[in-house]
Structure 1
Amino acid sequence: MNYIASITSQGQLTIPKPIRDKYSLHNRAKAIIKDTGTIIEIRPLPHRDILSLMGILHDNPVVKANRGKPSQQIIDEESAAFEKAITDNVVKEMGLPPRKK
């Protein structure tokens, strides 16, 4: 179905009520506007925004173990663990004796 919408002097566009209802576009809802070069696409942005993710890692054991550490220290530790895992895997696949610690 097609609708005609007017644009205000402030550049605001009123989305017709049936479309707002269909896509759950209510007060403070967000939409993605894409210029394809020939048409303008308006797509509803899912309600889950970045703020809804706040706290999801709060009880994560990796996050807890690294809380308070400088970023570079975490990177260095993770890089060393990754290199060790790769080396151990190669040694195991080649049938070599485990390396000494």
Structure 2
Amino acid sequence: MLNKEKVHYIAHLARLTLSEQEIEKMQESLTKILDYVAVLNRLENSAPESSLLESSHTDLMLRPDEVVAQKEQVIEQMLAQCPQSQSRYIKVRAILS
């Protein structure tokens, strides 16, 4: 179980002010969370490596990038719904300076 000093330190890092009752409640909650993470770590370490490698290859398969032609009518409808457009492009406010 986490001691009160560690909970107080974590609260300080998160810029939280906790009462004694809240510290005790957090102490219990954080202990449960850390116990659960320890169980997950044990499960991850016990998984056979071959199954991990097989699943990671299928997860990395992505569809190829392709240009899909749109009908002129669809493009015009989309541009008509935009607040601003300029020469067949949607004009948006700059988000990067």
What's the TM-score, normalizing by structure 2? 0.31
Judging by fraction of residues, say which structure has more helix. 2
Judging by fraction of residues, say which structure has more strand. 1
What's the TM-score, normalizing by structure 1? 0.30
